[in-house]
Amino acid sequence: MIQIEQLTKRYGAFTAVDEITFTARPGRVTGFLGPNGAGKSTAMRMMVGLTTPTSGTATVLGRPYRALPTPSRHVGVMLDATAQHAGRTGRETLLLAAIMAGMSRGQVDHALERVGLTAREADRRVGNYSLGMRQRLGLAGALIGNPQVLVLDEPANGLDPAGIRWMRGLLRDFAADGGTVLLSSHLLHEVEQIAQDLVMIGRGRIVAHGTKEELLSGTGTVVDSPDRGRLGTLLDAAGWKPQARPEGGFVAEASAEDIARQALSEQLLITELRTAGGGGLEEMFLQLTADDAREGVTGHERSAA
Ligand SMILES: Nc1ncnc2c1ncn2[C@@H]1O[C@H](COP(=O)(O)OP(=O)(O)OP(=O)(O)O)[C@@H](O)[C@H]1O
Ligand SMILES: [Mg+2]
């Protein structure tokens, strides 16, 4: 269990993480989703005691990370797989991690096997590893203390499709055995495939969170017509609160059948009609990304002026 309450990090006047509150529960994989620069890594660093919060709290298994005895026996952490010591071999890296966790040497082979690194690969220097191999090694290091909680920052980054499928299985099994997994990603579809719960963050703030089903099963219906003006009036008159979509048409709060019947009775041609489904979440995410991109451009112009 990871409990985050009102967690905030400011760097001078800039707020990187803004009063976020959520819980990652045991037995579930929680996806921490947000565009680049949203504050995911900063929040995760605060969870594992590497960055001091400006305010708010983060506890793992009921205690602040720093108060856990032998933390790696409770929480497996992988924040930046590229930051591993380049001169050591994979095996040496894991051996050190095992010693620090107070685990036996035998755990090293077990961990290597669990992440699919061969003995030959384990004896190569980490500096010569591909990004995917580093991710596997990082995951092995996180698992070595046999923890109940995993905190993983962009673990799928650099993995090929087979690697992503493998990792999904590993994390699902870990959660199915009662473990808590929190993983970040800037890719909605990647998180959708792995996580059961989602927390979406944009510019330091949580913009949506809940189970994947709750978030993806948007209640609205997408509808479009060549005569958008009449369609909007019809939906509005029926009290279905039409929202114009950037790509055209509307999302309305009514079933597809109710909308179809109303349009038929008013002889209005409908060219698109479907349940909004996951579109709501995807659109929210794209909107976040677009807003941030625009803001980046403005900031650039300002500093150049
Ligand atoms: N030490 C720091 N000093 C100043 N600003 C920082 C510092 N660390 C992070 N930031 C800023 O905080 C914001 C959030 O950064 P963070 O790395 O947490 O984002 P992220 O969601 O992990 O992004 P990405 O998907 O690119 O990894 C960014 O604007 C970043 O520049
Ligand atoms: Mg990050």
DSSP 110-160: HHHHHHT--HHHHTSBGGG--HHHHHHHHHHHHHTT--SEEEESSTTTT--
Q: Is the pLDDT of residue 1 over 80?
A: yes
pLDDT score at 52: 96
**Same domain, yes or no, for 203 and 77?**
yes
Cα 80 to averaged position of ligand 1 atoms, centre (Å): 13
Pocket test of ligand 1: the residue of 40, 82, 185, 203 to mutate, having most ligand atoms within 8 Å of its CB, is 40
Q: Who wins on pLDDT, 189 or 48?
A: 48
pLDDT score at 285: 77
**Same domain, yes or no, for 34 and 78?**
yes
Q: Residue 25 has what DSSP assignment?
A: P
CB of residue 41 inside a 6 A radius of ligand 1? yes
Domain assignment present for residue 293? The answer is: no
Count: domains in the chain: 2
- Give 48's pLDDT tier (boundaries 50, 70, 90): very high
**Same domain, yes or no, for 8 and 102?**
yes
- Give 305's pLDDT tier (boundaries 50, 70, 90): very low
Residue whose CA lies nearest to ligand 1 atom number 28:
37
Over its C-alpha atoms, the chain yields an Rg (Å, rounded) of: 23
Domain assignment present for residue 43? The answer is: yes
Task: Tell me how far apart the alpha carbons of residues 272 and 279 are, in angstroms, rounded to a whole number.
Answer: 14
Least confident of 1-10, 171-180, 271-280: 271-280
Ligand nearest to the CA of 292: 1
Q: What is the mean pLDDT of residues 297-301?
A: 37
Task: Tell me how far apart the alpha carbons of residues 239 and 245 are, in angstroms, rounded to a whole number.
Answer: 18
**Same domain, yes or no, for 207 and 246?**
no
Q: Is the pLDDT of residue 277 over 80?
A: no
Residue whose CA lies nearest to ligand 1 atom number 4:
11
Return the structure tokens found at 225.
């017509």
CATH number at 172 reads 3.40.50.300
Helices (H) and strands (E) in the chain, counts: 11, 13
CB of residue 187 inside a 6 A radius of ligand 1? no
Cα 16 to averaged position of ligand 1 atoms, centre (Å): 6
The answer to whether 126 touches 93, Cβ cutoff 8 Å, is yes
Q: In what order do the strands lie in the sheet with 180-185?
A: 75-78, 149-152, 180-185, 29-33, 197-202, 205-211
Domain boundary among 211, 239, 266: 211
Nearest to 211 by CA among 199, 193, 203: 199
**Same domain, yes or no, for 233 and 155?**
no
**Same domain, yes or no, for 226 and 207?**
no
CATH number at 249 reads 3.30.70
Domain assignment present for residue 130? The answer is: yes
Q: What is the mean pLDDT of residues 265-286?
A: 81
- Give 299's pLDDT tier (boundaries 50, 70, 90): very low
Return the structure tokens found at 19.
């009063």
CB of residue 186 inside a 6 A radius of ligand 1? yes
Cα 251 to averaged position of ligand 2 atoms, centre (Å): 33
- Give 282's pLDDT tier (boundaries 50, 70, 90): confident
Nearest to 125 by CA among 158, 84, 159, 155: 84
- Give 303's pLDDT tier (boundaries 50, 70, 90): very low
pLDDT score at 73: 94
Domain assignment present for residue 198? The answer is: yes
**Same domain, yes or no, for 207 and 228?**
no
Domain assignment present for residue 289? The answer is: no
pLDDT score at 190: 86
**Per-residue b/e over 296-305, b at no fewer than 16 CB within 10 Å?**
eeeeeeeeee
At 180-213, the pLDDT tens digits run 999 999 988 888 889 999 999 999 999 888 888 7
Find the domain containing 119 and state its range. 2-211
* 284: enclosing H helix or E strand: helix 279-304
- Give 251's pLDDT tier (boundaries 50, 70, 90): confident
Domain assignment present for residue 284? The answer is: no
Phi, psi of 133 (to 5 degrees): -65, -35
Pocket test of ligand 1: the residue of 42, 45, 50 to mutate, having most ligand atoms within 8 Å of its CB, is 42
Task: Tell me how far apart the alpha carbons of residues 45 and 57 are, in angstroms, rounded to a whole number.
Answer: 12
CB of residue 40 inside a 6 A radius of ligand 1? yes
Return the structure tokens found at 194.
């792995």
Residue whose CA lies nearest to ligand 1 atom number 3:
11
At 77-133, the pLDDT tens digits run 999 877 888 899 999 999 999 999 999 999 999 999 999 999 999 999 999 999 899
Domain assignment present for residue 304? The answer is: no
Q: Who wins on pLDDT, 293 or 208?
A: 208
Average pLDDT, the chain: 89
